[in-house]
Structure 1
């Protein structure tokens, strides 16, 4: 496949369909899992946050190992694609078990069940999404086409996230009780996430020249991405932006329910935010094509800061349209940050090839996936600890005319204050840091064009140095 070749539509759609899982599963877990553990499983918020944080210790090993495994896999189907088929049944099973409310009497037993099932879910995410993320760098070598591919991927991710914002609570509320509704929701969405990977498998292909290169299994390779200055800058942009997103998602249900007192509008507000994100994807893609990915990202970040500052003026009892305008403003900012953070990643392994001479997308994807899950864990842990210290009181459930009815508990003023601070101020700090680091990101469109052209020359020369002085110049700019 030539670097200038335009990707076929079926490839862009098929690849994008895989992120129905990545976008949707993370969203459901980010918004509902803490509520599920505290309000349905009966686990204290501090312990609930600990479940996700402990799992990251396992991910610190499993994610980089999976990156190395997929880099070294050699089959007729390629290095990445076999794991899409292998992972499909496990996606369904892990998502059902994750939402099954085990009714153990002892809290330690409920905590243990939650920890084991979350570890299972996290391992399946690792097995499937690391090869998926790594594949993007191989489908095309072109800077602009990678942005286009990411836009299609994020369109599917946003579509999935919209569905996951609107439908799960409808399924849960329609069931006889939440204890029944959650596992039903898990089964339905497990199938929704798993089946598209068949399309991803059938519509994508891998580069034979990349697959043919040997990638030694070295443990030190896990730390090598951090020697890459471009990767270090990228990963800070990625971490800080998604930390802000994950904190908002982890606390928004509590914010809407206990401060704004409009719990019946939670899914509609989330849906509005996500629809705006989806609608603005072409705009941010066009902005990145005309200027750069970093300019598009910073534009979204500035809008997002304005939106979070405006949340300080929200209060209960305002006209309903005001809340929807706020949700739309948040979505118009987060959309640019999300799509550009993902669009930048496929360019990073090119910098590594300049120095190592190898294509190690799997290792980079492993590190990225681990750190992405770490931000989600950090958000859930932070929110869990904050609301536990603030004295969160879980709702109760009683049977009325044969149907379960949830009674929302009255919260203290201290809890409401903590809720508002965590919702607004903490994300603003992370977004501001994202902007500062973005301003110093070295891999611009022009620089990537020079890098791509030089790597093509070097590949044609059997990987040997073509221009030592020029290569040193590129390395000094991007790596050292």
Structure 2
């Protein structure tokens, strides 16, 4: 398929539909799981952070291994949908995260959540890695990859918005309960399953429309060797390093929102408002970023977005002194930047793979596995870094129905700096890494 050819809209929409379920998995645990552990299950902040971090360590090898299995499936069957089908058990693990047996608190409750999280991460990889390998498989060009990812980003944003707004409401609003969290897990888990099945249908449609180019190369090696093969590519190495910092930053901010709303702003109900302010602008911004990428290139657009994120984060560091309208506006700036940080890097990965020719394309699952491992690692590092901020500030954990506890002033300070100053510093690291990526100039 040449650069001027376009993928069918119905296929694009069906493919993008799979991101609704993925958006739920990425958003809800990132938004609520740390808070669920510390303020509902009475788990100490550092222990809660480890519950989110330790299961993700295995992802560094697990995701590239899943990618290798996906490449092998492509070589044998001409598609990657078998693994995606197996990953459709993810909603069960999602529901289990918030279904800790009654009476479990503290470390036993933390252990329950950790086991469910490990299972969920494995199933998420089984679906997400072959799903995101599809754009690299297709015989399409530089701009069509951006268009494909633009459709995905819009639908993903809808999924993030709906789940991010509904989840706090279903849990009980300002006073969440264990029963509310259980209900939320079951309701959103069911919707996740439906959208994941739609995504499988979409991958089939697109593969028919733009067939996978023939290749005589077999799948790459498994495990650590697979990881090293992908990271030997200098363009991919700098791109994935930047994305790891971006993923860590955005997940840190997401995990911080419930604490910021309750303890800094004094209104737990503002969690929903802030999530909506973060996500809703991305719906409008995504098509704009597609145009920006077409006119000035993907990398320049991404650097602009990263700079905007730094500025918005620094405003949040001011806390309630800045005033609620200003804070909501700063969160909206973060959301606009977030749209670019999802759209552009994800459309740059197929560019890197495609630059390797047929051999590169045959290892699309391997590259994508490393990429999603970075995304998953960032998803764990972000809440862990914020939990460390809470611990440094002396944050006190509490159980559901206790009415909360009075936090020391140092905890309030770290709640504010953790959502503002720390993300700004991390995003600067992402920008410095991103500037080392040079392939975009050669392709546009």
Relative to the length of structure 2, the TM-score reads 0.92
2:373 corresponds to 1:373: no
In 2, the alpha carbon distance for the partners of 1:274 and 1:369 equals 21
- What corresponds to 2:84 in structure 1? 84
Taking structure 1 as reference, are residues 408 and 202 closer, same or farther at Cα in structure 2, changes over 3 Å only?
same
Taking structure 1 as reference, are residues 284 and 358 closer, same or farther at Cα in structure 2, changes over 3 Å only?
closer
| 2:429 paired residue among 427, 433, 441 | 433
The residue correspondences of 1:59-74 to structure 2 (distance < 5 A) are 59-74=59-74
- What corresponds to 2:257 in structure 1? 252
- Between 1 and 2, higher relative CO (CA 8 Å, sep ≥ 6) is seen in 2
2:440 corresponds to 1:448: no
2:396 corresponds to 1:393: yes
The residue correspondences of 1:223-372 to structure 2 (distance < 5 A) are 223-315=228-320, 318=323, 320-353=324-357, 356=359, 359-372=362-375
**Per-residue deviation, 1:83:** 2.6
Question: How many pairs were matched up?
Answer: 438
In 2, the alpha carbon distance for the partners of 1:75 and 1:295 equals 36
SS at match of 2:266: coil
**Per-residue deviation, 1:289:** 0.3
In 1, the alpha carbon distance for the partners of 2:106 and 2:247 equals 31
**Per-residue deviation, 1:136:** 1.6
RMSD value over aligned CA atoms? 2.4
In 1, the alpha carbon distance for the partners of 2:317 and 2:52 equals 29
- What corresponds to 2:125 in structure 1? 126
- The one-character-per-residue Cα deviations of 1:1-57 (angstroms, maximum 9, x if unpaired) are 555421000121111111112222111111100011112222211111111221123
Question: Which moved further from structure 2: 8-17 or 105-114?
Answer: 105-114
SS at match of 2:362: coil
Unmatched runs of 5 consecutive residues or more in structure 1: 399-405, 450-480
2:386 corresponds to 1:383: yes
For the 8 Å contact 2:264–2:319, the answer to whether it is kept is no
- The one-character-per-residue Cα deviations of 1:373-407 (angstroms, maximum 9, x if unpaired) are 11111112222222123221234544xxxxxxx62
SS at match of 1:223: helix
For the 8 Å contact 2:98–2:182, the answer to whether it is kept is yes
In 1, the alpha carbon distance for the partners of 2:105 and 2:280 equals 42
In 1, the alpha carbon distance for the partners of 2:75 and 2:436 equals 40
**Per-residue deviation, 1:118:** 0.7
2:403 corresponds to 1:407: yes
**Per-residue deviation, 1:112:** 2.0
- What corresponds to 1:470 in structure 2? none
- The one-character-per-residue Cα deviations of 1:96-140 (angstroms, maximum 9, x if unpaired) are 111112345574432321211110111111110011111121234
**Per-residue deviation, 1:212:** 6.5
**Per-residue deviation, 1:75:** 8.4
Relative to the length of structure 1, the TM-score reads 0.85
For the 8 Å contact 2:65–2:222, the answer to whether it is kept is no
Taking structure 1 as reference, are residues 342 and 221 closer, same or farther at Cα in structure 2, changes over 3 Å only?
same
In 1, the alpha carbon distance for the partners of 2:368 and 2:420 equals 30
In 2, the alpha carbon distance for the partners of 1:105 and 1:357 equals 49
Taking structure 1 as reference, are residues 235 and 174 closer, same or farther at Cα in structure 2, changes over 3 Å only?
closer
**Per-residue deviation, 1:235:** 0.7
- What corresponds to 1:24 in structure 2? 24
For the 8 Å contact 2:94–2:189, the answer to whether it is kept is yes
- The one-character-per-residue Cα deviations of 1:393-428 (angstroms, maximum 9, x if unpaired) are 234544xxxxxxx62322111111112222111111
Question: Which moved further from structure 2: 242-251 or 70-79?
Answer: 70-79
When Rg is computed on C-alpha atoms for both structures, the one with the higher figure is: 1
The residue correspondences of 1:3-18 to structure 2 (distance < 5 A) are 4-18=4-18
The residue correspondences of 1:24-173 to structure 2 (distance < 5 A) are 24-74=24-74, 78-88=78-88, 90-103=89-102, 107-173=106-172
**Per-residue deviation, 1:213:** 4.5
Taking structure 1 as reference, are residues 357 and 153 closer, same or farther at Cα in structure 2, changes over 3 Å only?
closer
